[in-house]
Structure 1
Amino acid sequence: MKSNFKFLAFIAFFGILLNSCSSDDDNVSPSLNAPEITGFEYGEGSAHSTEQVAYKGSDIHLEADIYAEAVVSSITLSIHAHDLPLADGEVEWDFFQEFSGSNYQVINPTFHEHVEVPTDIPAGEYHIELVVIDELGNSTEIDGHLEILDYVTISDDHIDTEAVRGTDFHAEFVINALNGIHNITVDIHAHDLPVGAGEVEWDEEIVFSEGYHGLTEVEFHEHIDVPVTAPEGEYHMVFTVEDEDGNTKEHHAHIDVTAP
């Protein structure tokens, strides 16, 4: 009798143990997958372009669809370049921003932002990376490359570095202007040159538009007169191209003016 009782008690205990384990398994949530990023696109902001090109002084349009089984905790965006040469007045651009607003801390958000592009950074190729992290710590990233360009570029310059007063000097370079050229200004001036008898300080600004206005690609080719009364010495020249939207590009040069 006692043996039967012990056997029945063991069976009952084993049954309760199995049921308890089964109940515990039912209460454990299955692991959730990391977020997925699809449709990641970016480009010129004003046109919502997807050509992966943006312009200095403008903005970048960025958009992506995010599928997340758990609530998104944060979205981070980084943009940086690798060893781009810096011209005078330019600085490196290393952009990083975390987006964690209520519109993103949800299931399946759509990422849509516009990022301003500084005017004083080097043009060239930049690496762009988007990282999504959910509230369970799962993360996913996607990356690509973005070309940062100038609205106006000046290249292939050939500008005289010496001139005799009373003659002229030659200046030429190639201009590319996405929005068309409005005008080209040449500012010529010196710094504290002594003015002798019969001489007059040479500080001149010349505006060129005829033959250039409205064109998107052209060779600037001009001969500029040097006054016979200009003091001898080094002059600083600033060639400024302005496009039809008011964007500008400067090119600096120097010229030594000598007596005949």
Structure 2
Amino acid sequence: MKTNFKFLAFITFLGLFLNSCSSDDDNVAFNAPIISNFEYGEGSEHSTEQVAYKGSDIHLEAEINAEAKVSSITLSIHAHDLTVGDDEVDWDFEQVFTDSNYLVINPTFHEHIDVPANIPAGEYHIELIVTDELGNSTEIEGHIDVLDPITLSDFSIDTSVVRGSDFHAEFMVNAVNGIHNITVDIHADGITPGEGEVEWDFEQAYEEGYHEQTEVEFHKHIDVPVTAPAGEYHMLFTVEDENGNTKTYETHIDVTAS
């Protein structure tokens, strides 16, 4: 009897022990994912400088430590109170990544996101959210400056010229992708040629001395025919870079008879 009693007691104890272990396993708490080494910048250079250019892309990378498998990674990018200019649109980006290489324990996030060419330049907010299959989530955020790939500055352009002479135009050009060419377009604003006058429209593309340069001063003297009708002329300067991005500057010049 004693032997049977001891055996039954042992079996009971073993059952309680295993049940306790099972309960402990059921109550194991998994920590939320940890995001570290979050970096982003200009995509073509895999830069960590927090700058990108319109019409290019943003490189993003982060290490994720997840005790439970990741179920999704959400990336959002949006502007901070930027004014939308002519021919520009708001950019509000959001994408949920559920690629198989991310739905694992401890994945590395690495993506390149295209930046539209027609959005306002300025500061954009970036947010990365990682959620595991147990519903735990972690987010990390930062900011990136989206810049114009072409900038024009320091304009010095004559506002009037006597026909039969020339006028001076100069300005600085910065183009991160290199300059393809610089075009000057001049045409009259509704001027009717008089006797002895000939309608004057000027258009020329300049490459020599500018092609493939990233920083240069445009400096030209443009002849105005002596037969050009006097009046106001519209001028458009267009810089095109090697990626097809363009930047324009508009102004007017008065052509006088003397």
Normalised by the shorter chain, which TM-score bucket?
0.7 to 0.9
Whole-Å Cα distance in 2 between the matches of residues 142 and 71 of structure 1?
Answer: 19
Structure 2 residue ranges without an equivalent (≥5)? 1-12
Q: Which residue of 2 aligns with 1:187?
A: 185
Which residue of 147, 167, 170 maps to 1:169?
167
Aligned residues between the structures: 248
Q: Which residue of 2 aligns with 1:9?
A: none
Whole-Å Cα distance in 2 between the matches of residues 29 and 190 of structure 1?
Answer: 81
1:222-233 equivalences in 2 (<5 Å) = 222-233=220-231
Greater mean deviation of Cα atoms: 42-51 or 32-41: 42-51
Whole-Å Cα distance in 2 between the matches of residues 78 and 161 of structure 1?
Answer: 46
CA contact (8 A) 2:158 2:169 kept: yes
What amino acid sits opposite 1:188 in the alignment? Answer: I
Distance 1:36 1:188, change over 3 A: same
1:1-20 equivalences in 2 (<5 Å) = none
Q: Which residue of 2 aligns with 1:41?
A: 39
Give the 3-state SS of the residue equivalent to 2:23 in structure 1: helix
Which residue of 206, 213, 216 maps to 1:208?
206
Distance 1:232 1:98, change over 3 A: farther
Could you tell me the TM-score, scaled by structure 2's length? 0.82
Greater mean deviation of Cα atoms: 250-259 or 19-28: 19-28
Does structure 1 residue 251 correspond to structure 2 residue 249?
A: yes
What amino acid sits opposite 2:99 in the alignment? Answer: G
1:1-260 equivalences in 2 (<5 Å) = 22=20, 25-260=23-258
Structure 1 residue ranges without an equivalent (≥5)? 1-14
Could you tell me the TM-score, scaled by structure 1's length? 0.81
Whole-Å Cα distance in 2 between the matches of residues 79 and 258 of structure 1?
Answer: 52
Q: How big is the alpha-carbon RMSD for the aligned residues of Structure 1 and Structure 2?
A: 2.9
Deviation at 1:60, TM superposition (A): 1.2
> What CA deviation, in whole Å up to 9, does each residue of 1:158-200 have, x standing for no partner?
2233333333322221111234434321111235433333332
Deviation at 1:204, TM superposition (A): 1.5
Identical columns (%): 70
Deviation at 1:122, TM superposition (A): 2.3
